Chains A and B, each alone.
Chain A
Amino acid sequence: MPHFILHRMVLPSMLVLCLILLWTSPALAHRVNIFAWVEGQTIHTESSFVNGTPVSGGTVRVQEAGTGHELLSGTTDETGMFSFTVPQEALDAGLDLTLIIEAGQGHQAQWPVQAEEYTGTSSLDQEASLAESSQAPLPEADESAGRASAQADLETVIDQALSRHLAPIKRDLAAMQDQGPGVTEIIGGIGWFVGLAGIAAYFRSKRSS
């Protein structure tokens, strides 16, 4: 009885399919993300797949942006984190960095870190303070220097506090950018297939008529 056998085969396999669909959330995906935030002169990185699974044992490469010159590399722990102190070479030259995560099996992603994020001062500020100090008249030099250093200390403290408080927000922003496929995109994709088939059918019918 082939019909019987067929029914016996179709039903269990459909069950298996249903189970798979139940086990997995639609947000699962085959893409890797890396996100980095700066705290003082330490850069923390976090790498995960789109569904939130951390990349454990992935390689993080820290390169100079543009040239691809590698400054250092490291391995992510089981939570997908890898932290490093900005190398002196990058500090001195004020290099923009590119962080690359290699998650294996051809999965790779990158995240840029601008020099201003870890030097704490943008080049504009440095110029301004230089101009200020050169203009300062001699008798008031001590007082002005003291005020400047107090101000610099304050700025450092504020910068550190800000970066600490902003890190989670930046992280959330990055996570928002990397949301998995939504219903809109999936249905849109299916629509593309139907549309392409329509175009193909149209040209075929024109040729045959």
Chain B
Amino acid sequence: MHISEMVLSFPVIGAGFAATIAGTLIGLLRLDPDKIMTTALLGAAFFVASLIHVPIGGAQAHLLLSGLLGFVLGWAAFPAILVGLVLQAILFQYGALTTLGVNTFNMAFPAVVCALTFKPLLGKTPLAHPVRTGIASFLAGSLAMIGSSLLTALSLAFTDEGFLISAKVLVLGHLPISAIEGVITIAAVTFLAKVKPEALFPAKPRPAFQTPPLSGE
């Protein structure tokens, strides 16, 4: 899912950066100060998890944990994933700095969308409804990954490969691992709900715009 250098055309790269900058700004502006450390730790988890590659058929897929990041961090998943991808590009040459915008958006946006869609299903007491919690977590984890595959295919739509072939290879290749990712998300969310519920739900509703925006620096 890490698109390499020189594959994409300039408009796609530009659009990717624009979308990523927007998402990252939203994430940073809405970042709860108490969640800075959580964001960093989950970013680190993403950084490590997407290094672990599972060979599936001829292709290779890796865990993302993006669904979990979306659930816990919301829009802050954008900065977390961005930092993870910067480090991967610099340290391991996975992806590239030029495709950073596209890759970040491809992985972070589905995570945020899935979180916004499925997190309300948790309700106030996720532990009281384990099945509902499980289904919501599974869908968030696996659909975030499928969404990322589709967005990657869309980014490749303007290359020789085209959208349909890329989408078929990417989505089919990621089906098994997205199921695994769903199961891991269930485990992580139920675990968090049990031992650290404030990670999933802010302890008190945060008054909007209490903290001045970052641009004041």
Contacts and interface: CB of A to CB of B under 8 A. Distances in A.
Given A9-B134, A53-B60, A28 B55 contact: yes
B44 A193 contact: yes
Interface stretch (B17-25, B67-75, B91-99, B108-116): B91-99
Interface stretch (A138-146, A155-163, A181-189): A181-189
Nearest to B42: A193
A107 B211 CA distance: 42
B133 to A, nearest CB: 9
B59 interface: yes
B53 A105 contact: no
A110 B33 CA distance: 44
Nearest to B62: A30
Contact of B4 (A31, A180, A189, A194): A31
Contacts of B31: 200
Given A17-B184, A193-B43, A204-B36, A105 B166 contact: yes
Contact of B94 (A31, A193, A194, A204): A31
Contacts of B63: 20
A204 to B, nearest CB: 5
A24 B92 contact: no
A128 interface: no
A193 B169 CA distance: 33
B36 A28 contact: no
Nearest to A179: B92
A119 interface: no
Given A9-B186, A106-B7, A108-B4, A189 B130 contact: no
B26 to A, nearest CB: 16
Nearest to B8: A106
Interface in B176-198: 180, 183-184, 186-187, 190-191, 194
Given A10-B187, A24-B55, 17 more contacts: A6-B194, A9-B190, A12-B183, A20-B52, A31-B93, A49-B60, A53-B60, A104-B161, A105-B161, A106-B2, A106-B156, A107-B4, A186-B51, A189-B48, A190-B48, A193-B41, A193-B47
Interface of A: 2, 5-6, 9-10, 12-14, 16-17, 20-21, 23-24, 26, 28-32, 49, 51, 53, 56, 100, 102, 104-110, 180-181, 185-186, 188-190, 192-194, 196-197, 200-201, 203-204, 207-208
23 contacts: A2-B130, A6-B127, A12-B183, A20-B180, A26-B52, A28-B52, A30-B94, A51-B60, A100-B6, A104-B166, A105-B59, A105-B170, A106-B2, A106-B3, A106-B4, A106-B152, A108-B5, A108-B6, A108-B7, A192-B83, A193-B84, A200-B36, A203-B217
Interface of B: 1-8, 31, 33, 36-37, 39-41, 43-44, 47-48, 51-55, 58-60, 62-63, 83-84, 87-88, 91-94, 99, 127-128, 130, 134, 152, 155-156, 159-161, 166, 169-170, 173, 180, 183-184, 186-187, 190-191, 194, 211-212, 216-217
